[in-house]
Amino acid sequence: MAARYRLMLTIMSVILILDRITKHLVIKKIPFCDSIGIWGEYFQISHIKNTGIAFGLFRTDLSNILFSVLTAAAIVYIFYYYRISGCYRLYKLPFGLLLGGASGNLYDRIFHGGVIDFLDFGIGVHRFPSFNVADSSIFTGLAILSFIIIKYGD
């Protein structure tokens, strides 16, 4: 493995491992569609499956297949862009986060028929859509990448 890829792949691997461990614990310890209160009603660990995309949008029988294909294509494109990029050093962290998150959610789509979400915040019936470690990693990676593009251009 080229030294150029080492840090990015390490970040990707750490995120993927954390994502798999947390989702495995949720699947084993919490019945599907059930929740455990961590901080009253404000923060719960819930066992939910999302076949759509962010915020549960576009949930249909075919959406899981479509989003699996799109996620796999995005992973391939990130590796391709990283390979041809002249500023690859700037992209190691955000691309590692994006690849780890995308890989974790792709694993779920392939082996669980949808993404396992479990971090659940809100008050009563007013809840933020549930998410997971992979989703947080994707969001963070996109935020860092946006900052790099704004500050340094592409």
In the residue annotation, 19 being an active-site residue is answered as: no
Among residues 19, 108, 117, 120, the one annotated as catalytic is: 117
Among residues 19, 108, 120, 135, the one annotated as catalytic is: 135
Residues 18, 113: Cα–Cα separation, whole Å: 20
Neighbours of 49 (CB within 10 A): 17
In the residue annotation, 135 being an active-site residue is answered as: yes
Residues designated as active site: 117, 135
